[in-house]
Amino acid sequence: MIFVTVGTHQQPFDRMLAAIGTLPDLSDVVLQYGYGSPPDGVREAVDFMPFAEMEHNFERADAVVTHAGVGSVLCARRSGHVPVVIPRLHELGEHVDDHQAELTRSLAALGAVLALWPGEDLREALARVPARSERLAATPGPLTDAVRQALGAPPA
């Protein structure tokens, strides 16, 4: 199962939802789509999920595709995933600034996420996701340091 979350930000994330729609088989996709419109054919599509349900989906997923929200990325990593991260971009009207792009660059440099930028193919990114047996255990130290660095603070 592929778990997808766009987060709870008020601006729709149509670019990410369109990318999900390009997958050849949506019958294995569970999608939290926020303020946008889900593509047809997904197994389950919910605008917003309670946190416990989100955690359950992170745990049972074979792969995770998420916006670059800190909470979503950390939940994915805590569940043992190297998530495909699609940051919301200010220049495309998807967020108020580019903090998600900054965080994505920092985490991708650590190998903690697979970044997906405009023009890149989601199917190719998903093909690079490590198999569950190959995933590294989540390591909060480097992720915490990356978040701090992205925010301009020194490592702890």
Q: Given this model, what pLDDT does residue 95 score? A: 81
- pLDDT at residue 137, as a whole number: 47
DSSP helix/strand/coil, 67 = coil
* CA–CA dist 19, 140 (Å, integer): 29
Nearest to 103 by CA among 154, 144, 155: 144
8 contacts 35 by C-beta, under 8 angstroms: no
Residue 76: per-residue pLDDT? 95
CA distance linking residue 136 with residue 10, whole number of Å: 33
pLDDT tens string for the chain (156 positions)?
999 999 999 999 999 999 999 999 999 999 999 999 999 999 999 999 999 999 999 999 999 999 999 999 999 999 999 999 999 998 888 888 888 999 999 999 999 999 999 999 999 999 999 876 555 544 445 666 666 666 565 666
Give all domains of the chain, ordered by start, each with its CATH number.
2-150 (3.40.50.2000)
Q: What angle do CA 42, 45, 15 make, to 5 degrees?
A: 80
